[in-house]
Amino acid sequence: MILRLAVPGDAALLARWDEKSHVKWCTGHDPDQLLPEDEREDWAGQIARDVDWLDILIGEAGGRAIGVVQIIDPHMEESHYWGDCAPNQRAIDIWIGEEADLGRGHGTQMMKLAIARCFAGPAVTNILIDPLVINTAAIRFYRRLGFVDVGERRFGEDDCLVMALPRAVWQP
């Protein structure tokens, strides 16, 4: 398993993954409906951006793209999705693209690589994630990786559980 920076040629794949039922469910969208045009991610535009607060990474297993990880600096991120965050933190979003790749350990491998990448910066003290409260499988998954509950928070229309992995808890 490797994580590599997304390139413009990945945009169509990411857009296709966004329409997968399991991805829509995890992001608070109706899995049986097409994403509304105004809620579709502009992956080509996102990948083309050169900002210090975002890395879009493709997880590859055996040379095949299987998922995506976004690592965000929530203090610098321009939409302030996370609110007023202290510096020296990171936030992670992750998903597996194809249903056939779920439950095969790819998510665990991708998260471990993403966590190591976050903590490679010696100033980073904490990593945040925000699974939906109803996504109990994801919450169990993150707890197994060492994340602890911070508290429930509403992001837009989504009830999420904010979780954190402090550097002091992390076991490389």
| Mean pLDDT rounded to a whole number for the chain | 87
pTM of the model: 0.87
23's CB contacts (< 8 A; 6+ apart) are 17, 95, 97
Task: Give residue 38's pLDDT band: very low, low, confident or very high (50, 70, 90).
Answer: low
CA 96 to CA 150: how far, in whole Å?
Answer: 25
**Between 13 and 19, where is the model more confident?**
13
Q: Dig out the tokens for 131 from the structure.
A: 């699974």
User: Tell me, what's the pLDDT at 31?
Assistant: 53
Closest CA to 48 of 76, 9, 95, 17: 9
User: Tell me, what's the pLDDT at 36?
Assistant: 59
CA 150 to CA 10: how far, in whole Å?
Answer: 33
Q: Which range (2-11, 37-46, 47-56) has the least confidence?
A: 37-46
Give the pLDDT confidence of 118-133 residue by residue, as tens digits.
999 899 999 999 998 9
48's CB contacts (< 8 A; 6+ apart) are 8
Measured distance between the N- and C-terminal CA atoms of the chain, rounded to whole angstroms: 16
The structural domains of the chain, ordered by start, are: 2-166 (3.40.630.30)
Once rounded to an integer, what is the mean pLDDT over residues 137-144?
Answer: 93
Task: Give residue 50's pLDDT band: very low, low, confident or very high (50, 70, 90).
Answer: confident
Once rounded to an integer, what is the mean pLDDT over residues 51-77?
Answer: 95
Give the pLDDT confidence of 83-119 residue by residue, as tens digits.
888 999 999 999 888 888 778 889 999 999 999 999 9
1's CB contacts (< 8 A; 6+ apart) are 59, 60, 61, 106, 109, 110, 113
User: Tell me, what's the pLDDT at 42?
Assistant: 84
In the chain, what are the helix, strand and coil shares in percent, each to the nearest 5? 30, 30, 40
CA 115 to CA 14: how far, in whole Å?
Answer: 21
Task: Give residue 172's pLDDT band: very low, low, confident or very high (50, 70, 90).
Answer: confident
CA 85 to CA 76: how far, in whole Å?
Answer: 9
